[in-house]
Structure 1
Amino acid sequence: MPQQFLNIGGLVALGFDPTGEFMLTITHSGRGVFRVGTWERLARDIELAYPNAGIGIGIGPIAGLRIPMISINYDTGELAAQTPDQAFGIHYAEGTVTIEPADRRDTIDQ
């Protein structure tokens, strides 16, 4: 699977539900939920709900769940994370989330 891109301006933090199936994003204009792997947006709201003590509250298919969040580095304006199963690396900068499949090639002993 090639790189994929999500345009998410004003990202503050992101996190994953306990199953790793959903990614919660929190921005300066609300929250969104994406399905991990397809990256389809499943839910969006415009209520401001910034993380509190590193926890975001889910919406849509993860409504009410307390999700541990990874916050943006305000010094660099970037955020880096991996999906819980480490299948994808996620990098945010300048309004774009870049999703990169992890290198899953096996090492061949010679």
Structure 2
Amino acid sequence: MIVRQKMKRPTHLMIGGLVAMGFDASGRSLLTVSHSGRAVFAVETWQRVAHDTALAYPDEGVAIGIGPIEGKQVAVLSRDENKERIEMHSPEGSLHLVGESDGISVS
């Protein structure tokens, strides 16, 4: 018998140069945008499931998904010179994310 355990929620996702982050419409994927490209994390496990090094910054609060959310428009919150820290909750409200230049803290 195989017993599957949910992975422990991490305290920090290392993403250097974080620019923006947002959940896809289902809430199962987190899209991140950095100065090193875009990445998608599976929320259930927090494993990175896609990465693209091509620079594709958000436009008017929207970034384009890659991997399992390829081509989908994802609403994102962005950091800039006036907003060093961004905070958001998952769509269902169970997770609190804080994004800073070195990554995302999850609680």
TM-score computed with the length of structure 2 as normaliser: 0.86
In structure 1, stretches of 5+ residues that fail to align are 101-110
Query: Is it true that 1:55 corresponds to 2:62 in the alignment?
Result: yes
Report the counterpart of residue 14 of structure 1 in structure 2.
21
Q: Is contact 1:24–1:31 with CA below 8 Å preserved after alignment?
A: yes
Structure 1's consecutive aligned runs of 4 or more residues displaced over 6 angstroms after TM superposition are: none
SS at match of 2:30: strand
Report the counterpart of residue 106 of structure 2 in structure 1.
99
Q: Is contact 1:73–1:79 with CA below 8 Å preserved after alignment?
A: no
Report the identity percentage: 39
* Paired positions, count: 100
Report the counterpart of residue 103 of structure 1 in structure 2.
none
Q: Distance in 2 between matches of 1:3 and 1:12?
A: 20
CA RMSD in angstroms, aligned pairs only: 1.5
Query: Is it true that 1:38 corresponds to 2:41 in the alignment?
Result: no
* Larger RCO (alpha carbons 8 Å, 6+ apart): 2
- Structure 1 residue 72, shift from structure 2 partner: 1.4
TM-score computed with the length of structure 1 as normaliser: 0.84
